Every structure is written in structure tokens, then in C-alpha cells.
């Protein structure tokens, strides 16, 4: 089977529904949970694609603060160098931007938390993974840092008024999403109860934030499950090319 390496920097953000959509699309997921002490491979030679998820760590953490992220950066650098099909989510997207020569910082507009919308950029209409998305798809945000500068040559695919760099592509096959599409209502509740600063930034209470997220989850599945299928097709295409 086509193998996707799944890097889980924190068990607070497992693959969730995204993992199921990718499995349904025919990928074999090799999940490495860094919280549990799982080791990362030294390179991507045994895998056809890469998924890097989020977590409470900061992309600004040094090796002493978050040593588990050192290997993640190494794998993202290889993915960029070899144009391996990659999907990097939230913290993963911020690490991707930094590895590619962009930068991150503490969010200038404060945390961005909860269910919201992003807007596709024109380039998304001709992108093999983003094509077919509605103009303003629903997403779930949960970040305190921002990607303030994309890597040179990156293609911006989605934005919103709070933070411009919501989705981007580097090369042909490496994608970053500042927002989340993998969540379940249970995951969101865990994040909300564990992040009073983030919830306070919304002007709402925990229950209101969680209810809004629960309401939007069916729309997330309708839009992002097919997106996951299109990403899986990229991974399968690379596997077929490598095999031949």
C-alpha cells in the first residue's frame, strides 16, 4: 500500500477525521506520536508522503525547549528538497514556513480561535488539491503564532482578514494549512478547556466556542474530505512513479 508518514507532535492533535479520510482514500498511515516517545525515521525513503499535525508547542521554540521538533524540521526540509507530497497543519505549517525560509512570530492580532471562514485566492482554482473548494470554505482555527512571511516562491492559496497566510504551497506538492480540518468536537472541547487565553480572545465562553465548532463539523467534512482524497491522489501518484 501507499504509505503516509503521520507526525503527531502532541496527542492533543491526533489525525482525527483527516486520518480516516486519508485511510478511506487508500493510504496506509504510519503514525508517530512524539508524546509517547515514538521515533521518527531519519528520512522519508520508506514513505510516499508526509502529514505533520499541530500541538501546543511553538514554532519559535528552540531545540532545548522542544527537542521533539528537531526531527520534524529535518523531515520537512527533506520533503521540500525532494518535493514529497506533504500536508502540514497549524504548527506543522508554521514549521514548514520556517524551514523553507519564511518566518513566524507571535500573532500580531492575538490568538485566532474557533470556527471561521477562509477565502480562496485565485491560484487555488488551478491547484490540484485546492481546486473544487468553495470560495469561502469553513475551517477551524486554533493558533497563537502566525506565519508572517512565506518562503520565497511559495504560492498563497487561502487568506482571511485576521491572518493572510492561511494556506500555501511550496514547490508542486508541499502544502501548509494554518487552520485545522482534522478536528472532532471532542478535540475542540479539550483545546477550549485547556486554553483560557485563546477562548478569552474570542469574547465568548467555552460552551459557545464549542457549540459553534460542533455546528460547523458537518460542513468541514463536506468540503475537506474530498480535499483529503485529492491529496491522497498526489501521494499515490508519487508512489506509482517511484515504483516504475
Distance CA 122, CA 25 (A): 27
**pLDDT tens for residues 90-113?**
999 999 999 999 999 999 999 999
Whether the pLDDT of residue 241 is over 90: the answer is no
Buried b (16+ CB within 10 A) or exposed e, 214-232: eebbeebbebbbebbbbbb
**pLDDT tens for residues 14-64?**
999 999 999 999 999 999 999 999 999 999 999 999 999 999 999 999 999
By three-state DSSP, how is residue 119 classified?
strand
pLDDT average, residue stretch 220-228: 98
pTM beyond 0.95: yes
Distance CA 204, CA 206 (A): 7
Amino acid at each position: 500500500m501507499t504509505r503516509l508518514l503521520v507526525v503527531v507532535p502532541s496527542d492533543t492533535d491526533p489525525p482525527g477525521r483527516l486520518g480516516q479520510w486519508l485511510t478511506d482514500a487508500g493510504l496506509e498511515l504510519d503514525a508517530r506520536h512524539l508524546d509517547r516517545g515514538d521515533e521518527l525515521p531519519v528520512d522519508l525513503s520508506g514513505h510516499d508522503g508526509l502529514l505533520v499535525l499541530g500541538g501546543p508547542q511553538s514554532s519559535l521554540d528552540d531545540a532545548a525547549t522542544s527537542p521533539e521538533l528537531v526531527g520534524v524540521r529535518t523531515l520537512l526540509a527533506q520533503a521540500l528538497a525532494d518535493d514529497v507530497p506533504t500536508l502540514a497543519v497549524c504548527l506543522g505549517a508554521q514549521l514548514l514556513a520556517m524551514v523553507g525560509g519564511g518566518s513566524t512570530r507571535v500573532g500580531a492580532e492575538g490568538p485566532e480561535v474557533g470556527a471561521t471562514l477562509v477565502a480562496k485566492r485565485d491560484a487555488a482554482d488551478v491547484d490540484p488539491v485546492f481546486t473544487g473548494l468553495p470560495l469561502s470554505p469553513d475551517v477551524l482555527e486554533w493558533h497563537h503564532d502566525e506565519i508572517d512571511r512565506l518562503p520565497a516562491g511559495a504560492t498563497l492559496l487561502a487568506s482571511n482578514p485576521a491572518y493572510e497566510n492561511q494556506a500555501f504551497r511550496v514547490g508542486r506538492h508541499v502544502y501548509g494549512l494554518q487552520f485545522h480540518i482534522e478536528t472532532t468536537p471532542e478535540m475542540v472541547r479539550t483545546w477550549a478547556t485547556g486554553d483560557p487565553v485563546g477562548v478569552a480572545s474570542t469574547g465568548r465562553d467555552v460552551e459557545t466556542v464549542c457549540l459553534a465548532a460542533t455546528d460547523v463539523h458537518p460542513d468541514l467534512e463536506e468540503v475537506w474530505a474530498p480535499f483529503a482524497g485529492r491529496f491522497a491522489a498526489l501521494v499515490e501518484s508519487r508512489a506509482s512513479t517511484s515504483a516504475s
